[in-house]
A and B are shown apart, each in its own frame.
Chain A
Amino acid sequence: MSRLTAALTQAGAAHRPALVAYLCAGDPHPDTTPDAIVALADAGADVIELGVPFSDPSADGPVLQRASERALARGTTLRRALDMVQAARIRTAVPIVLFGYYNPLHARGAARVAAEAREAGVDGLLTVDLPPEESATLRDPVVAAGLDWVPLVAPTSTDARIARAAEVATSFVYCISVAGVTGAGGADLARAAVRAQAVRERTGRPVALGFGIKTRDDVARVAPFVDAVVVGSAIVQAMHEGGIAAGAALVRSLRG
């Protein structure tokens, strides 16, 4: 069992969903991203999702767009994000999933990304704009390198597409709570959680639910139905306003 799947299983054994905490590599600052990873893990994050900034984040809302812009302005690249993982890896065993858009990965080359990600201590990849039918070029070398591949399922996904996502998944399936961009408000989390549970039942894969989960109450509402919850924009905003300590405090409160 991969370290990523183990983290979900462990949380499940404690009758709670695993907490997946998102941060953008290089934000608030490239020098402190390893500290941020360690701090969020120490505060109770079971999995870290590390965003690789991109110039054209067309699936992100304003909070993560701005984070990406700040990180790029401070010189963050895919290679530097991998260095940040490597630096954090010495200090923590928390599973780390790289989260981003395809072009920076494409530019570096699939085989090289797989090798370097493994070398740096990355556990898995999630690429927003690579639906299953386009993902083989990157997924195959990544999985061959022993890393997990995390696909997305949306509220609009048909049964056939959900099955397809489950086929390419090696660990959990990431269910998006609402048709929209990251940070979207107004998700009907109760309904989304039930839908995610149906995905888990149909596919036999663990499921994570993300988009629009911001508070301890949100987590509590969906907890009975899912294996993991993803919190992104809220953590990024907290760290933007109050530094790493504020991010860690939010993670502690999300864990309850």
Chain B
Amino acid sequence: MESTTPGRFGPFGGRFVAETLVPALDALERAYTEACADAEHEAERQRLLSYWVGRATPIFHAVRLSRAVGCDVWLKREDLCHTGAHKVNNTVGQVLLARRMGKPRVIAETGAGQHGVATASACALLGLRCDVYMGAEDVRRQAPNVQRMTLLGARVIPVESGSRTLKDAMNEALRDWVTNVEDTYYCVGSVAGPHPYPTIVRGFQRIIGDEARAQFLEANGVLPDAVAACVGGGSNAMGLFAAFLDDPGVELVGVEAAGHGLGSGQHAATLTAGRVGVLHGMRTYVLQDDDGQVVEAHSISAGLDYPAVGPEHAWLRDSGRARYVAIDDDDALEGFQLLARTEGILAALETSHVLAWLRTRGEEAPGSRVLVSLSGRGDKDLVTIGDALAAKAGGR
């Protein structure tokens, strides 16, 4: 049976793709549904999550950070996942799906390179070929991850078109998929893209929220007042939010990248400053001009540098269930330093946006309990951070 308007989140989502891809999306949806119902397949996924990824990740009570920001902060330690970020929860699920569907080749787009590394690792583990599209600008600023992918046996293909970042990598991955759809599985890296990707990726990432909710309850006997995560495409946030959607007392907060500031026009705050449009197969908020041309996003963090956002976030925003705030590059850098010096953890620049927001939270709701998704570790960002701090010290 072919679905009519599948995968809607309110008026968002859908399947705005070339006809060639629609049957492939139908096949993917069927395979996902079957895999979820297959106990043996699920057991294998759980085994890999436990023994290869290293789940469950702990939640950590960040006492010194809490004192510094004025609210009670608990960190869900996705930075401790194998490969260094939450992205691997999704790639384990999807690459298993690729193998189940008999696809010998996997492609992916990547921004920060975390999803690329996670895809390359899962493909090495399961013996599938892996090609990763990465904007040429990101290849430059996330060099350590390019080297990791190569060492893992993946081919990294730099994308020179458009803004040479994540959105262009996704365009190129779509072009590859439409050409090689018979033997290739497209492993999308966030809760974005055409249906069923937003649903599948949320399904594989909700382990973040499911674990964290139980862990928080066990430690505190109550639910947190708020849960917060950074939002690029929105997968770590959606994975966290998914477990709390039906807890009306828990505030859901997504933190976007304000880049050089919302007024500068150089930012990636899609839900804060974008308009409804259609990009990469989904109806959602998009950073675009009056003529419907997508504008280039900017963020110091490659993983948030995306001019659209997962459609479920668009719906959570419009329905009022979640709210979204924006943090600029400078504040994100401070958030990074704050966590490093109070808790001895180097966070990814993406994650650092949420950490910076905690100061605001501490002022707005002093003492409130906040559960934060610490989505990844910062090793990949050391050069960017060093350069940015040097530029600041130089009085720029």
Q: Which residues of A contact B (CB under 8 A)?
A: 54-61, 65, 69, 72, 77-79, 101-108, 128-131, 133-134, 151-158, 160-161, 164-165, 176, 179-181, 184
Contacts and interface: CB of A to CB of B under 8 A. Distances in A.
Contact of A179 (B3, B5, B20, B281): B20
B22 interface: yes
A103 B178 contact: no
Contacts of A104: 291-293
25 contacts: A54-B292, A55-B295, A56-B162, A56-B167, A56-B280, A56-B294, A58-B280, A59-B18, A59-B178, A78-B291, A103-B278, A104-B291, A104-B292, A106-B276, A108-B291, A130-B16, A131-B19, A134-B16, A156-B21, A158-B23, A160-B2, A179-B20, A179-B178, A180-B20, A181-B178
B279 A103 contact: yes
B272 interface: no
Given A61-B175, A161-B19, A181-B175, A134 B162 contact: no
A7 B192 CA distance: 41
B4 interface: yes
Interface string B294-330: 1100000000000000000000000000000000000
Contacts of A130: 16
| Size class of the contact patch on chain B | 35 or more
Given A105-B292, A154-B23, 6 more contacts: A69-B161, A101-B278, A103-B277, A129-B17, A152-B19, A161-B22
B365 interface: no
A106 B292 contact: yes
Contacts of A78: 291-292
B278 A129 contact: yes
B218 interface: no
Interface of B: 2-6, 14-24, 161-162, 167-168, 170-171, 174-175, 178-182, 275-281, 286, 288, 290-295
Contact of A107 (B178, B182, B277): B277
Contacts of A131: 15-19, 22
A107 B290 contact: yes
A129 B178 contact: no
Nearest to A72: B293
B93 to A, nearest CB: 24
A133 B16 CA distance: 9
Contacts of A103: 277-279, 286, 288, 292-294
A128 B15 contact: no
B292 A156 contact: no
A67 to B, nearest CB: 13
Central interface residue in B3, B167, B279, B293, by most chain A CB within 10 Å: B293
Nearest to A175: B19
A129 B24 CA distance: 15
Given A104-B292, A181-B178, A58 B171 contact: yes
Contact of B18 (A69, A72, A108, A128): A128
Contacts, number: 128
Contacts of A61: 175
A103 B291 CA distance: 9
Nearest to A105: B292
A108 B292 contact: yes
A203 to B, nearest CB: 14
B23 A161 contact: yes
Given A158-B23, A179-B20, A65 B292 contact: no
A154 B286 contact: no
B16 A79 contact: no
A55 B171 CA distance: 10
Nearest to A180: B179
Contact of A102 (B3, B4, B16, B291): B16
A154 B19 contact: yes
Closest 3 CB pairs of A and B: A107-B292, A104-B292, A154-B20
A72 B19 CA distance: 25
Given A131-B15, A134-B15, A155 B288 contact: no
A10 B277 CA distance: 39
B2 A161 contact: yes
A179 B179 contact: yes
A157 B15 CA distance: 15
Contacts of B174: 58-59
B296 to A, nearest CB: 9
Contacts of B16: 102, 129-131, 134
Contacts of A176: 19-20
A107 B288 contact: yes
B281 A129 contact: yes
Contacts of A165: 19
Given A103-B294, A181-B175, A155 B278 contact: no
A57 B293 CA distance: 11
Contact of A77 (B161, B276, B291): B291
A72 to B, nearest CB: 7
B20 A155 contact: yes
Contacts of A107: 275, 277, 288, 290-292
Nearest to A174: B19
A72 B289 CA distance: 12
A58 B180 CA distance: 14
Contacts of B275: 107
A59 B15 CA distance: 14
Contacts of A102: 16, 278
A134 B14 contact: yes
Contact of A56 (B22, B181, B279, B290): B279
A109 B24 CA distance: 30
B278 A181 contact: no
Contact of A59 (B175, B293, B295): B175
Contacts of A55: 162, 293-295
B181 to A, nearest CB: 5
Central interface residue in A55, A78, A129, by most chain B CB within 10 Å: A55
A156 B181 contact: yes
B20 A156 contact: yes
